[in-house]
Amino acid sequence: MSNDQFNPTESEKNIHTDFSNDMTYGEYLQLDKILSGQQRLSDHHDEMLFIIIHQVSELWMKLILHEVNSAIVCIEQEELSTAFKRLARVSKTQSQIISAWDVLSTLTPSEYMEFRDSLGQASGFQSYQYRMIEFALGYKTPHVLKIYEKDAGLHSELKKAFIAPGLYDVSIKALVKAGFPINPAVVDRDYSKPYVEDESVHEAWLAVYKNVDQYWDLYELAEKLVDIEDWLQQWRFRHMKTVERIIGFKSGTGGSSGVNYLRKVLDQRFFPELWDIRTEL
């Protein structure tokens, strides 16, 4: 609509319409790049849905990493209130990713089979941001790094995340700073290895939950961690059921066993002591 056709009411007379020398909304968000990234490899109508769902999920994962990595730094610097804000946002973001499976579930098996071969060996299994989220939460599996050797820069970035302390590691160090006697082998461990449950960590978290008033910040931190693991497992479950609904028990495009693999990862735990102590309270 041209300016001479636009007649705002008195209350809207300051709406800006001349952007010849100013940045527009689309330019700020770089929408030309974002909205040109949906290139179907088939002529099938529903491939657009498939692409957009996965792209949107990757954007949400980028935000999750942004917030989790910031929270890790905040916890290390004993700025727990700021960390709580970051982690609360992570949980809300996770709920958005879970909702995406409901949209993808509108894709039927017959529709997906029409363009599945166009994916080749590309698979969500190869999502490097998802791997970095797992690394940040303490789940380290060295064999997955091989997937990313094609891109030296990305591979290097993943290796840095792989050896770095995760969210639970810095939370355990917060227990140490609060005076809890944590096993030194846990505090000074090799962060490239998966975390293994420890009795001293178990006893510390149990004391936090039994003395909430005394350790309120640590108690709130623990609950934020439980929220994140809870939502992540719900995301994994919805992923597994969506895959089962669309392709049954076929192998994944990336070579995994599909539903069977997704069922197995549901048994992975990130913050085990925080779940175990609930039986004792």
Q: Output the known binding site for substrate.
A: 50-54, 112, 116, 253
Q: Are 64 and 90 in contact (CB under 8 A)?
A: yes
CA distance 155 to 133: 15
Q: Are 30 and 56 in contact (CB under 8 A)?
A: no
The number of beta carbons lying within 10 Å of the beta carbon of residue 22 is 8
Q: Are 269 and 195 in contact (CB under 8 A)?
A: no
Q: Are 243 and 258 in contact (CB under 8 A)?
A: yes
Binding site: residue ranges?
Answer: 50-54, 112, 116, 239, 253
The number of beta carbons lying within 10 Å of the beta carbon of residue 41 is 13
- CA proximity to 277, closest of 213, 217, 215, 198: 198
Helix (H) or strand (E) holding 280: none
CA distance 273 to 270: 9
Helices (H), ranges, the chain: 25-29, 31-34, 47-76, 80-104, 109-113, 128-136, 152-163, 167-177, 184-187, 199-210, 216-247, 259-265, 272-276
Binding site for heme: residue ranges?
Answer: 239
CA distance 147 to 161: 15
Q: Are 236 and 98 in contact (CB under 8 A)?
A: no
